[in-house]
Amino acid sequence: MLLPPSIMDLSLFLAQLFGLIYVAVGIGILNNPKRYRAVFDDMMDNGMLLYFGGVISLCVGFTLVTFHNLWLSDWTVLITILGWLALLKGLVLIVCPKCMIEFSQGMLKNLHTIGVGTLIFGLILAYFGFMA
SS (H, E, C) 38-92: HHHHHHHCCHHHHHHHHHHHHHHHHHHHHHCCCCCCCCCHHHHHHHHHHHHHHHH
C-alpha span between 85 and 78 (Å, rounded): 10
Q: Are 122 and 23 in contact (CB under 8 A)?
A: yes
Q: Are 108 and 33 in contact (CB under 8 A)?
A: no
Confidence of residue 2 (pLDDT cuts 50, 70, 90): low
In this model, does residue 78 exceed pLDDT 60? yes
Count other Cβ atoms within 10 Å, centred on residue 88: 13
Q: Are 85 and 65 in contact (CB under 8 A)?
A: no
Quick: pLDDT tens for 90-113: 999 999 999 998 998 888 889 999
What's the pLDDT score for residue 106? Answer: 85
What's the pLDDT score for residue 107? Answer: 85
What's the pLDDT score for residue 3? Answer: 64
Q: Can you give the length of the chain in residues?
A: 132
Which residues form the domain of 32? Answer: 5-131
In this model, does residue 5 exceed pLDDT 80? no
| Number of domains present in the structure of the chain | 1
Among residues 59, 41, 50, which one has the least CA distance to residue 96? 50
Overall pTM > 0.95: no
